[in-house]
Structure formats: structure tokens, C-alpha cells
Amino acid sequence: MILAMIVDLILPSSTLKQYVKLVVGLLLILIILQPLLSVFNVNVHQMVDQIIPTNSDSSVESEIENGMNQQKSEIEQIQAAYVLEEMVVQMENIVEEELQETYNYQIEDMEVDWASHPTSEENELERINVQLVATDDDSAKVEEVHIQIGDSLPQTSESPPNDANEIKDFLADQWGVEEEIIHIRWKEE
């Protein structure tokens, strides 16, 4: 302020003096308002971080990575299950024609139990359950219908035919597995 007064006294009265007074007045206003402006001078990012605590970048990245890994493992499990299902279908297709032509049996149902987890590389067979049904060459043959009144159901024969061991050997050879893991159920029509 003292400097402004000295400059004002030194300068002669002219149009230049009016401009100097204007500039000095603006400087004085800024000097007086500086404490008020410093109160309003706030770092916005710092205030937001104080109000809303955000997770660090590493924790957000780790959450994203964990989510991606979980989705990846789910996809791998689905793919492994699909591959195993396709293997079972191929096993059926390998023996289907020859089983029907040679032994007059058809695979009605087949379940495979795996010894290892589905996503592991080694898929070792633990048990193969095969349900065979006899096929007749007479597809147009009409069987006699028996009507029984009462609660008891007719007994079905689950006894294996004479060539059961031969069929089991055939299946084991075709599939490249041991006979002990193949379990055959017989369904008679």
C-alpha cells in the first residue's frame, strides 16, 4: 500500500496517472481479498477422496481378476463336461452297429462314472453302467397286451442272457477298458 502511495505521488498528473491508479486499485483489491480466496481454494480431488473412501487400484484389479478367473473356471468345467459327454456318445456309436448285428442287443441307456475331477487332464473311467435291450427283427410285430387289475406289477426278468460274458468282453475290447468296470443291466421288452 505504501508503494502504491509513493507511485501516486511521483507520477505527474496526466492520463497515465489515471491508468496507474486503476492498476494499483486492482492490486489493492486482490491483496485484501487474498485471505478470502485462499479459503475457497480447495483441491476437489482431495475432498472427494475424503468424503468417499475409494478402494485402492490394486484391490479393484484383484476383484476383477478373481471374477475373470471364476468365469474362466466355470467355462472350463462346462467344456470338460461337454467333452466327457461327447466321449460317452462316441463310445455308444463305436459299438452300436456291431452289437446289434452280432448279439441283437441295443444300448438303451449308458452312464459313465469318472474317477477324476471333470476338469483334470486325465479322465479315468471308474464305472460304466450299460442298459441293453433285446432288438427284434420284426419291427411290425404286435405283442399281446395283458391287463391286470390290482396293485401288483408284473415281474420283469433281469437275468442276463447266455452270451452276457461275451458281450461284456466285446464292449471292453471296443472301448479299451477292463471288464471289471463294465456293469450291464438287461431290459426285456
pTM of the model: 0.49
Q: Which residues contact 10 (CB under 8 A, 6 or more apart)?
A: none
Query: Does residue 156 register a pLDDT over 70?
Result: no
pLDDT per residue as tens digits for the range 86-138: 888 888 888 888 888 888 888 888 888 877 665 555 567 788 888 888 887 55
- Bigger pLDDT: 147 vs 165: 165
Please, are residues 124 and 114 in contact by the beta-carbon 8 Å criterion? yes
Query: Does residue 146 register a pLDDT over 70?
Result: no
pLDDT per residue as tens digits for the range 44-100: 677 777 777 665 566 778 888 999 999 999 999 999 888 888 888 888 888 888 888
The domain segmentation of the chain, as residue ranges, is 68-138+157-187
Question: Which pLDDT score is estimated for 144?
Answer: 63
Nearest to 182 by CA among 116, 95, 72, 86: 95
CA distance linking residue 77 with residue 183, whole number of Å: 27
Question: Which pLDDT score is estimated for 137?
Answer: 59
Query: Does residue 5 register a pLDDT over 80?
Result: no
CATH number 3.90.1150.10 given to 68-138+157-187? no
DSSP helix/strand/coil, 12: coil
Q: What is the CA radius of gyration of the chain?
A: 45
H runs (alpha helix) in the chain:
2-10, 15-40, 44-51, 57-103, 164-175
